[in-house]
Chains A and B, each alone.
Chain A
Amino acid sequence: MTLPWSSMDQFFVDTKDFIMTQAQRVLPEWSLPWLSILVTVGAIAAIAPAIMMYLTWIERKVIARIQNRLGPNRVGIYGLAQPLSDGLKMLTKEDIVPDGADKLLHLIAPILSVVPAILLFAVLPFGRNMVAVDLNVGLLYVLAVSSIGSYAIFMGGWASRSKFSLLGAMRAVAQIISYEVPSVLSVVVVIMIAGTLSTVGIVEAQSRHWFITTPWGFVAGIIFFLSGVAEVNRTPFDMPEAESEIVAGFHTEYSGMKFALWYMAEFLEAFAISAFTTTFFLGGWQGPRIPVWPVLLVGALVIATAVGLGRPLRVLGVLACVGLAVACAKDVVPSWAWFLAKTYALVFVLVWFRGTLPRLRVDQLMGLAWKGFLPLSLVNIFAAGLWATMPGFAGGLVSLVILVASFFFLVRVNAPAPLERRTYLFAD
């Protein structure tokens, strides 16, 4: 029997094809589409909780390192089994529903929040040919499905019949709706340039250059990512679950597995935000479009001649650089590895934000969305239009100038009025 795998790049695709060809022999014709769906959905449904569990681990580890601690390291090597033990703990905990709560809504809300988070994975191109459904309205689907989460949050806050929950839910809805606007407007430029709504099409449109390398793409990417951070209620935009103000916000009254579901939704959405930023702006599953290998070879040379480094370090560094250079030149890094690497880099940035930035005030939060991101993304659409219609460098230059100028203009306009010097009438 020949191995079913043609290359590492197509490892998962080939695996599924192999399963399907084997199944063709034993299963009736009508069941094959269903099996295909089952395999894909099963894979996603199995991977999503695993991703969530290890996101918690990554978050705790990185935050700990930022705070000069070690983080979880007791359960398993490097604490790798910590998510499992946390999951077990959550499963065995008592499920408390407050008196006077709407029991049905209280149950449905966390489920409703997880479902859209997992649904997002359907149109996520993990690698070349690795997408569950290549919807031709993929981007619209992403925007539509991701905003269902706010219903779930408000439902949970309402059903708990607790003031903290309701306050958190109100904040969450206000925040999510506000940030939806700049988020959508910032991906409009992607649709304009790529000419398609399909996520696969958008990735393929970046085969010449990643969108982040263009002026409008840079601005749109940052706006999209930061709006995404706000939409999934992560620090520094974690007003809805600000533990120092309103206990835990909308999930104050949740415990046990329902609470775990809230967390799962939150982490999956954080992952999805990183993944879609990668897809729309960072070239998705494509490797870097500039030839990296000469750079890496120069790096190897530098390391080889670096005096003051230990010999083993130098040898290791040279080997690593040469290996990376060969890998990039030969394009042996699988597409899904590129995708995951970029996504996890963005996840790291999310955690890095959390380890650094304090929470914004409500007025700062809303001001950032309505007075900063919204006008900037509108200008950005104009800039992208100019970029697309003007030839060569002129378009890039003009859009860059427009964006920089409008950025400084917005900063100037939004600057808080300088306080007048206080005079004390009776102090002297």
Chain B
Amino acid sequence: MLGIGVIKGMLVTLREFVGTYPAGRWLLARLGQPRGQGLVTIQYPEVKQVHPERFRYFPFLVFDSTKDNLRCVACKICEQECPPACIFIERADDEQGRPMKSNGRPFPKTFNIDTSICMSCRICVDVCPFDAIEMDKEFELASADRFPSMTYRKEELLKSNEYFQQIRPKESAGVDARLAAKAKKPAPAPAATGATPATPSTGQTASSSTSTGAADGPAPTGTPPTPTPPPQTPPNPGVGTGGSAP
């Protein structure tokens, strides 16, 4: 009959209306009605939404124990892979243009990420061979001016591994296990020259790390286990992983 549909619709909205009040929910339960969704509003500044573990917003740099013990070696892979190009990295070099070392690794002098350009795609995390960059959950990054406060510098990006473990227990456990395995295996790698063809993942990381090292002279002259063509000659500086060119 005409109008029945309208009345049915009106009853649906009435149920949702009543269901937002505690007494109304009680009443609906009495009447055997579905209770609707109830209030879904989260009173944001006072109450924060609980995000799932894989919620991500913005990357940060992981350090172990002390702030100068960065995992990042300034290899610039993330800078190149970043789709909106919001990462800017400068390696710390000495006067001769050789990388300075901290804890036996090169490290970035500058590491800037522009928060207003970053699109939270997580590609930097995926491509990082050292698990040096991870996604943060912090999203309240509003500031009064565009420059410089929306560009995050190295100091602001540095967060400890404990923080990472805290915000992402599952993911960080995997990363920690991988790093521990890597620390155990390639420890004798510089000595035993190219003797151990490692697993693909570690092989890749080893190649990139040694190639960046080899590009600047006093690196161990061991052959990096590149997966594609086994190099016949000792690699000369600059050809690194792309050794098939000559």
Partners in one complex: yes
Quick one: which of B1-33 are within 8 Å of A by CB? Answer: 1-2, 6, 9-10, 12-14, 16-17, 19-21
Enumerate chain A residues within 8 angstroms of B36, measured Cβ to Cβ.
68
> How far apart are the CA atoms of A352 and B11 in the complex, in Å?
10
* Among candidates B1, B10, B39, residue contacting A68 with C-beta atoms closer than 8 Å: B39
Q: How far is the CB of B81 from chain A (nearest CB, A)?
A: 41
CB nearest neighbor in B for A354: B13
> In the assembled complex, which residues on chain A have CB atoms less than 8 Å from the CB atom of B41?
68-70
Q: Is the CB of B6 within 8 A of A357?
A: yes
- Neighbouring B residues of A68 by C-beta, 8 Å: 16, 19-20, 36-41
B12 neighbours in A (Cβ, 8 Å)? 356
Q: Of B6, B10, B20, B43, which contacts A65 at CB under 8 A?
A: B20
B40 touches A355 (CB 8 A): no
A69, B39: Cβ atoms closer than 8 Å: yes
| Given A65-B20, A66-B16, A356 and B39 contact (CB-CB distance below 8 Å) | no
* Cβ-closest chain A residue relative to B3: A411
Of residues B2, B9, B17, B43, which shows the largest number of chain A Cβ atoms within 10 Å of its Cβ?
B17
Which residue in chain A gives the minimum CB-CB distance to B42?
A70
CB distance B38 to A352 under 8 Å? no
| B13 with A352: CB separation less than 8 A | yes
Interface string of B102-115 (1 = CB under 8 A from A): 00000000000000
Measured between beta carbons, the chain B residues less than 8 angstroms from A69 are 39-41
Chain B residues with CB under 8 A of A325: none
- Bound CA span A70–B43, Å: 9
- Given A65-B20, A68-B20, A411-B1: A356 and B13 interface contact (C-beta under 8 Å): yes
Query: CA of A215 to CA of B43 in the docked complex: distance in angstroms?
Result: 49
Q: Contacts A68-B20, A411-B2; is A355 near B39 (CB within 8 Å)?
A: no
Q: Is the CB of B20 within 8 A of A356?
A: no
Interface size class on chain B is 20 to 34
Partner of B9, one of A65, A70, A357: A357
Contact with B along A347-368 (1 / 0, CB 8 A): 0000011011100000000000
- What mask results when residues 47 to 91 of chain A are scored 1 for a CB within 8 Å of chain B, else 0? 000000000000000100111111000000000000000000000
| B16 and A67 contacting across the interface, CB-CB below 8 Å | yes
In the assembled complex, the CB of B32 is this many whole angstroms from the nearest CB of chain A, namely 13
How long is the Cα–Cα vector from A68 to B10 in the complex, in angstroms? 15
Known contacts A357-B6, A411-B1, A411-B2; is-contact A70 B13 (Cβ 8 Å)? no
The reply to whether A70 and B39 contact each other, CB–CB distance below 8 Å, is yes
Write the B40-75 contact mask toward A (1 if CB under 8 angstroms, else 0): 110100000000000000000000000000000000
Nearest opposing residue in chain B for A414, CB measure: B2
B5 CB to nearest chain A CB (Å): 10
- A278-316 to B contact mask, C-beta < 8 Å, 1/0: 000000000000000000000000000000000000000
Q: Which residue of B lies closest to A407 (CB)?
A: B2
**Contacting pair A352 B9 (CB below 8 A):** no
- Scoring B residues 175 to 197 as 1 if CB is less than 8 Å from chain A, else 0, what string do you get? 00000000000000000000000
Q: A356-B9, A357-B6, A357-B9 are in contact. Are A62 and B39 (CB under 8 A)?
A: no
B156 CB to closest chain A CB (Å) equals: 31
| Nearest CB of chain B from residue A321's CB, rounded to whole Å | 15
Closest A-chain residue to B2, C-beta based? A411
B2 touches A65 (CB 8 A): no
Q: Judging by beta carbons under 8 Å apart, are A356 and B10 in contact? A: yes
A62–B10 CA distance with the chains assembled, in angstroms: 13
A 363-422 contacts with B by CB, 8 A: 411
B39 contacts which chain A residues (CB < 8 A)? 68-70
Q: Which of A244-281 contact B (CB under 8 A)?
A: none
Known: A352-B10, A357-B9. A66 touches B17 (CB 8 A): yes
Chain B residue at smallest Cβ distance from A408: B1
Smallest distance from the beta carbon of A76 to chain B beta carbons, Å?
15
* CB atoms of A65 and B40 under 8 A apart: no
- Tell me, rounded to whole Å, the shortest Cβ–Cβ distance linking A125 to chain B: 29
Taking a contact as CB atoms under 8 Å apart, the answer to whether A352 and B40 are in contact is no
A355 x B20 contact (CB < 8 A): no
Partner of A66, one of B1, B6, B13, B38: B13
In whole angstroms, what is the CA distance A356 to B10 when docked? 6
Residue of B nearest to A306 (CB): B30
Contacts of B38 in A (CB 8 A): 68
A62 to B14, CA, bound (A): 10
> What are the residues of chain A within 8 A of B14 when measuring CB–CB?
352
Q: Which residue of A lies closest to B38 (CB)?
A: A68
CA distance A65 to B1 in the complex (A): 29
| Nearest B residue (CB) for A222 | B3
Q: A412 to B13, alpha carbons, bound, how many Å? A: 29
Find chain B residues with CB under 8 A from A353 CB: 10
Nearest chain B CB to A239's CB is how many angstroms away? 18
Write the residues of chain B forming the contact surface with A, with a CB cutoff of 8 angstroms. Answer: 1-2, 6, 9-10, 12-14, 16-17, 19-21, 36-41, 43
Give 30 A-B contacts (CB < 8 Å), ordered by A residue: A62-B17, A65-B16, A65-B17, A65-B20, A65-B21, A66-B13, A66-B16, A67-B16, A68-B19, A68-B36, A68-B37, A68-B38, A68-B39, A68-B40, A68-B41, A69-B39, A69-B40, A70-B39, A352-B10, A352-B13, A353-B10, A355-B13, A355-B17, A356-B6, A356-B9, A356-B10, A357-B9, A357-B10, A411-B1, A411-B2
Chain A residues in the interface with B (C-beta under 8 A): 62, 65-70, 352-353, 355-357, 411
Having A68-B37, A68-B40, A352-B17, one finds 20 other A-B pairs with CB under 8 Å, namely A62-B17, A65-B16, A66-B13, A66-B16, A67-B16, A68-B16, A68-B20, A68-B36, A69-B40, A70-B41, A70-B43, A352-B10, A352-B14, A353-B10, A355-B13, A355-B17, A356-B6, A357-B9, A357-B10, A411-B1
Q: Return the 3 tightest CB-CB contacts between A and B, nearest first.
A: A356-B13, A70-B41, A411-B2
